[in-house]
A and B are shown apart, each in its own frame.
Chain A
Amino acid sequence: MDAAAERITTAPRRPVRRGVLSLSVIAAIVVIWEGAKAIFSIPTFMLPHVHEIFGEFVRRGGRGELYAGIMAHNAAYTAWEAIIGFVLGGVAGLVLAVSFAYSRLLERGLLPYVIASQTVPILAIAPMIVIWLGTSWVSKAVIAAYLTFFPVTINMLRGFKSVDHDALALMRSLAATARQAFFKLQFPAALPYLFTALRISATASVIGAIIGELPVGSRYGMGVVIINAAQYYNWRPANLWAAILVSASIGIGFYHAVAAVERRVVRWRPVGTEDRWPG
């Protein structure tokens, strides 16, 4: 077996090393956090103690329920909206990318508006979508999809266009149908681009869902938790920090879920070799 093949067999040891690394980074952040707070005597309303933030989870709410439970319930609600939005946006983004790849007319006509859609502040659009679609999870999922589709469209379009000229010529010489060329060449060739987009979209979909929960009328979700925590910030600052921590965790979880699927699907090259890909 050659040296290159051996590199694959060593891959399973990586997760352990990565685990140690991320634990070290977390420990370093805690040290810097608490160190800065002590050295510069930063007051708690600006920067609470780390243990105060985690203490929020074991605190009991007004009706005696554990705050961790309340957070988990709202986090699950937001995650659900984000997943639906992620799927909707992913499919919409793919459909747009495919139609742009096949029709220069559509690309020229619509791509400027696709780009414009992302320059409009989502905070301004979110209340309108909530008014149109109601305060249920549907409007939040649509807002999440609004942020999700764009990276997918742009990256997949680039992926389709990056397909090697001679690889297409090969399909042509074999008298392949357009459908065969798409499924046997263009789509698999663009898959790495799709996953790059999905990793961005995974975090964006959570942001979208949370923004969708901010307008008045929403009852559940991390957006609601954040609004409430912000209102009581002076009284209990650690509460907002805990909400931020949970929101970020959802996004990080999504990101890693996508990366895990990517590792299973894009198996033909070892992860992390994109830069030294032999021509």
Chain B
Amino acid sequence: MAGLNGPIIDVQGVGKVFGRGAGVTHALEGVSLAIQPREFVAIIGPSGCGKSTLLRIVGDLVEPSGGAVRVKGKTPHQARLDRDYGIVFQTPVLYEWRTVLRNVELPLEVMGRPRSEWQGRAQGMLQLVGLGAFQHHYPWQLSGGMQQRVAIARALVFNPSILLMDEPFGALDELTRERLNLELLTIWSQTSATVLFITHSISEAVFLSSRVMVMSPRPGRIERTVTIDLPRPRTAQTRATARFFELVTLVREGLREDPAVAAGRDAVAEDA
């Protein structure tokens, strides 16, 4: 397959304009980024900075207005047809008429995988996210955190090479979010997926990823990239280390500062 030695996701000068005439909004402008295979990249920015739009452009759910995107050397459209993407949305988007197990089986069903395969794979994924005992429950019987774990199981059940996560824990309370952060890293370590993770939580972005990209709003562009050199596996103690605080501070500065200053500091951040 082409492009396996280069970045798995390659975004070059992508822009997105919504609307026309007086009501025009420049959601994204000149966004470029390259993500290597097996990387965990978080994109952080204030609401309305176009970070979700960027994820949807990568996943071929939204057409860019300009620029080029290559995924595994292919167009995002081809990558979608090849089922390269597992997606977790802000809300769990579980199908309420299906049990937990049947929700996780859905991708295998749609892809026409042999029926004999569905249950075993889905049950395995549910074990992995710690919901093996809830497979016959309906979504409404689960808490928000459990529902989002089902969504993660559903996204990973067919072993996609890319996991796109659009503020998946944004609606959860802080405690649940931190627990799910830990679980996500455990799950991720057992897959070979590359993760693009959208969030507006600084500590979440730093804790999870290998690189944090900070976006500015209207038009959305990447102002700063912070390499996260915290050792893995990361644990609850990771959040208490001095390096964690330093990195959080670096990202926070990137979010606060105006573009010109942030650009000047970029080199410093990359060196760290």
Expressed in whole angstroms, the Cα–Cα distance for A166 and B82 within the complex equals: 20
- Among the stretches A12-20, A44-52, A107-115, A168-176, the one at the interface with B is A168-176
A277 to B141, CA, bound (A): 11
A-facing residues in B23-58 (Cβ within 8 Å):
56
* Stretch from A57-65, A145-153, A184-192, A222-230 at the B interface: A184-192
Is B80 engaged at the interface, CB distance under 8 Å to the other chain? yes
Shortest distance between the CB of B160 and any CB in chain A (Å):
9
Q: Mark B131-147, 1 if CB is under 8 A from A, else 0.
A: 00000011011000000
Segment 1-27 of A: residues with Cβ below 8 Å from B: 2, 4-5
Cα distance, A172 to B91, chains bound together (Å) = 17
Q: Which residues of A contact B87 (CB under 8 A)?
A: 169-170, 173
Cβ contact within 8 Å between B110 and A180: yes
Chain B contact surface mostly: loop
Interface string of A142-170 (1 = CB under 8 A from B): 00000000000000000000001011011
Contact mask A239-279 → B, CB, 8 Å, 1/0? 00000000000000000000000000010110001000110
Q: Which residue on chain A has the smallest CB distance to residue B77?
A: A175
A172 to B62, CA, bound (A): 11
Main DSSP-derived SS at the A contact region: helix
Our pick among B56, B82, B95, B140 for the contact of A185 (Cβ within 8 Å) is: B95
Contacting pair B89 A170 (CB below 8 A): yes
Contact yes or no, B96 A169, CB < 8 A:
no
* A167 contacts B140, C-beta separation under 8 Å: no
Complex CA distance for A175 and B77, rounded to whole angstroms: 10
Asked whether any CB of chain A lies closer than 8 Å to the CB of B239, the reply is no
The reply to whether B89 and A166 form a contact with Cβ atoms under 8 Å apart is yes
Q: Closest CB of chain B to A261's CB: distance in Å? A: 15
State how many residues of chain A have any CB contact under 8 Å with chain B: 26
Q: Does B260 contact A (CB under 8 A)?
A: no
B98 touches A (CB below 8 Å): yes
Is there contact, CB below 8 Å, between B91 and A166?
Answer: yes
CA distance A189 to B93 in the complex (A): 12
Whether B83 pairs with A172 at a CB distance below 8 angstroms is no
Judged by a CB distance under 8 angstroms, whether B107 is at the interface is: yes
Which residues from chain A contact B85 at a C-beta distance below 8 Å? 173
| Contact indicator B93/A269 (Cβ below 8 Å) | no
For A164, the closest partner residue in chain B by CB is B93
Interface residues of B (CB under 8 A from A): 56, 59-61, 80-83, 85-87, 89-91, 93, 95-98, 106-107, 109-111, 137-138, 140-141
Q: Identify the 4 closest CB pairs spanning chains A and B, nearest first.
A: A268-B97, A166-B89, A166-B93, A174-B110
Ordered by A's residue number, 30 sampled pairs between the chains whose C-beta atoms are within 8 Å are A2-B141, A4-B140, A5-B141, A166-B91, A169-B56, A169-B87, A169-B89, A170-B87, A170-B89, A170-B93, A172-B60, A172-B61, A173-B59, A173-B61, A173-B85, A173-B86, A174-B83, A174-B107, A174-B110, A174-B111, A175-B80, A175-B81, A175-B111, A184-B95, A185-B95, A188-B97, A189-B95, A266-B97, A268-B138, A273-B140
